Structure 1
Amino acid sequence: MGDYTEELNNAFNVLKRGGIILYPTDTVWGIGCDATNPEAIDKIFALKRRSEEKALICLVSDFKMLNQFIEEVPEVAYDILKYAAKPTTIIYDKPIRVAENLVGEDNTLGIRVTKDKFCEQLIRKLKRPLVSTSANLSGQPTPNSFSEISKEIIDGVDYVVNLQQAIKTPKPSAIIKLSNDGKVKVIRK
């Protein structure tokens, strides 16, 4: 992928205004917004027709940002992420400085440190985590490519990032729940 300055600026401007975007990630196409904006998060729940009890995840640009939004990152998280063979989302206890409607009822939040260059640059520019949920209506299959995303989703976002990333094997991330008491639970391999 070459220069995507224009796409970064367009997506950034929509996010700053409280809009929602459709964008390629290091896994599947995602619907995203500023993770500190509760109104934007509500728009995503409404667009996906998803119950607010079902948690959304977010992306951060690096470990430094992860530490800014989780009260205490368990040491083992760094090893899991360092050696993970595929994109891995970890559900952490006690998220901080994000919108309340993003936090699970059990005071947890799933966060993935993105490896996608576009996402990383967008998050750095935003200086906040980016909500990332698959680009489908709740209960529908996760689209494997942009062409499989429903018109309702495309029409329902404020901006579609114009980067047709060739993801070789688009699959959702692995999900691991890592509690501060040391418990580790694999939610999705």
Structure 2
Amino acid sequence: MFTSEINKALKVLKNEQVILYPTDTVWGIGCDATSEVAVNTIFKIKNRSESKSLIILVDGIEMLQKYISKIPNTVIDLLNNTSNPTSIIYNNPVGLAKNVVASDNTVAIRIVQNEFCKQLISAFGKPIVSTSANVSGNSTPKCFKEIDKAILDSVDYIVNLQREEVNDKSSTILKVAENGEIIVIRD
């Protein structure tokens, strides 16, 4: 069903370029989360300081475990039993671009639930960045038609799916403390 769009997006991601795509929350600007060059492009597009971190999307727990070596069982249980988009801030990530990792050596990662995103990430074999499709400081667009022309003009490929849908839900954000405790950042 998504084969054509996945193939077009894959070509862009593999070239360290940037896509605009629908996620399980809002429209996102995305790239290879292991490429500093691609991530830097996103910071430029959003006119955003590199000190502000970005959310990373993975297709499942198996991929998550490649980038986060220590995941408490409580987090795995939570991820297996939630139906809400949930981004979790983890300590000490490995294998990701340095500029997606916050200065305190943490990164926010979400196991994506959107079927297109899941298939795209699975086919790509690596995590992708997901940051809202707006210039830093501006409001987050709730649907495709609210995305600023400057954003549309600055990405390398716009996925041609779900352009009529309105989606204004943000992900829940949790943080895993060093002791394994789960702290709610945004509900």
Report the TM-score range of the alignment, normalised by the length of the smaller protein. over 0.9
Partners of 1:27 and 1:167 within 8 A in 2: no
Pair 1:179 & 2:171 matched: no
Q: Pick from 84, 87, 92: which aligns with 2:85? A: 87
Deviation at 1:69, TM superposition (A): 0.7
Tell me what 1:134 maps to. 132
Unaligned runs of 5+ in 1: none
Number of equivalenced pairs: 187
Aligned ranges for residues 3-152 of structure 1 at < 5 Å?
Answer: 3-152=1-150
- Contact 1:59/1:113, CA 8 A, preserved across alignment: yes
Q: TM-score, normalised by structure 1?
A: 0.95
Distance 1:168 1:155, change over 3 A: closer
Hey, what's the Cα distance between the residues in 2 that align with 1:8 and 1:106? 34
Equivalent residues of 1:62, 1:114 under 8 A apart: yes
Match for residue 153 of structure 2 among 152, 155, 179: 155
Amino acid at match of 2:32: D
- Which amino acid in 2 is paired with 1:77? V
So what's the TM-score if we normalise by structure 2?
0.96
Find the aligned partners of 2:175 and 2:119 in 1 and give their Cα distance: 27
Code of the aligned partner of 1:141: S
Residue 80 of structure 2 aligns to which amino acid in structure 1?
Answer: K
Whole-Å Cα distance in 1 between the matches of residues 101 and 43 of structure 2?
A: 13
CA shift in 2, pair 1:63/1:167, >3 Å = farther
**Whole-Å separation in 1 of the counterparts to 2:87 and 2:14:** 25
- 1:166 and 1:79 map into 2 onto residues whose CA distance is 34
Deviation at 1:148, TM superposition (A): 0.4
SS at match of 1:111: strand
List structure 1 runs of 4+ shifted beyond 2 angstroms: 82-85, 165-170
Task: Note the residue ranges of structure 2 that are not aligned, 5 or more in a row.
Answer: none
The share of aligned pairs that are identical, in percent, is 49
